[in-house]
Amino acid sequence: NIMKELSGLEVYEQKLKTKFNLRKVIVVPGNSDIDLGVKQELGKACVHFLKRIIKDNMIISVTGGSTMSAIADEMIPMENKDCLFVPSRGGLGEQVENQANTICVEMARKAKGNYRLLYVPDPISESSYRSIIKEPVVKEVTEYIQNADIVIHGIGEAMTMAERRKMSKNQLDQIKKSNGVGEAFGYYFDKSGQIVHKVRTVGLQLEDLESIAHVITVAGGASKADAIESYFKLGKSNVLITDEAAAIKLVKG
């Protein structure tokens, strides 16, 4: 019966809250690996949570990926005035519908907020990086990103993300050899949370998260359990929105 199922999910929420020391955990039923509708439910849950915490003039920084895209699909008008959406990072080699810029625009439009974008190739060479961060328009958006009140981000499996972003054979081998399991914000982590690879880019760096009030992690699917675990070893987050299949594995692990 439905009440029983609900209380089952609540048990997982409570256990994960303690395990990762979080302010809030939301577990939706199902497994987004095999049911796309579950990814939309993650999106819905995230939008409802956002609606509860958002205030006037807040800056919301968002990453890319299909989970983030589901959040954008489910976005609803936020009555808060002058909220600003910015992408956390550049393109990271993703196809356009999965890019943070695209998701940022869609979210801002539906939420009736404003947006600023980051027109920077990602990854970027060391020499271009040094000159591009001095560009006023890049500087301005980078400052918004660092001053974000809310960050919403996805987590991916390391090899899946590295391949999807068409990283070189060398880099793929290196991530595999160093046992990379998870990816977030262009950082690749092994099981113990050590960074095994980092994509150089302007935009949000892991250390920026320390000063951001609300970091919301949205990731589901049994296949992502290890990736989620690896991120929480090192990365800061206050809120996890996940699904039942990932939660079961995380609680066992």
Rounded Cα gap, residues 63 and 184, in angstroms: 9
> Which residue, 55, 66, 59, 124, is CA-closest to 86?
59
Measured from the CB atom, the residue of 55 and 162 that comes closer to ligand G3H is 162
CB of 4 to ligand G3H, least distance (A): 30
Query: Binding to ligand G3H by residue 93, rule CB under 6 A?
Result: no
Are 245 and 32 contacting, i.e. CB atoms less than 8 angstroms apart? yes
Query: Binding to ligand G3H by residue 64, rule CB under 6 A?
Result: yes
**C-alpha to C-alpha distances, 142 to 149, 200, 224, nearest whole angstrom:** 14, 14, 29
Q: Which of 30, 43, 65, 93 binds ligand G3H (CB under 6 A)?
A: 65
Site for ligand G3H in 156-185 (CB under 6 A): 156, 161, 183-184
Q: Which stretch binds ligand G3H (CB under 6 A): 7-15, 64-72, 80-88, 107-115?
A: 64-72
Are 199 and 183 contacting, i.e. CB atoms less than 8 angstroms apart? no
CB of 67 to ligand G3H, least distance (A): 3
Measured from the CB atom, the residue of 5 and 219 that comes closer to ligand G3H is 219
CB of 194 to ligand G3H, least distance (A): 17
CB of 159 to ligand G3H, least distance (A): 12
Q: Which of 66, 174, 179, 205 binds ligand G3H (CB under 6 A)?
A: 66
DSSP assignment of 143-188: HHHHT-SEEEE--EEHHHHHHHTT--HHHHHHHHHTTEEEEETTEE
Q: Which stretch binds ligand G3H (CB under 6 A): 59-67, 120-128, 129-137, 144-152?
A: 59-67
Site for ligand G3H in 189-228 (CB under 6 A): none
Q: How many CB atoms lie within 10 A of CB 236?
A: 16
CB of 208 to ligand G3H, least distance (A): 16
Site string for ligand G3H, 136-155 (x = CB under 6 A): ------------------xx
Query: Under DSSP, is residue 193 helix (H, G, I), strand (E, B) or coil?
Result: coil
The torsion angles phi and psi of 3, rounded to 5 degrees, stand at -60, -40
Beta strand 84-87 with 59-62: parallel, antiparallel or unpaired?
parallel
Range list of H helices, the chain: 2-20, 36-53, 66-74, 100-111, 126-132, 136-146, 158-164, 169-177, 225-234, 244-252
State the number of binding residues for ligand G3H (CB under 6 A).
Answer: 11
Query: Binding to ligand G3H by residue 67, rule CB under 6 A?
Result: yes
CB of 219 to ligand G3H, least distance (A): 7
CB of 18 to ligand G3H, least distance (A): 25
Give me the residues that bind ligand G3H (CB under 6 A), please: 63-67, 154-156, 161, 183-184
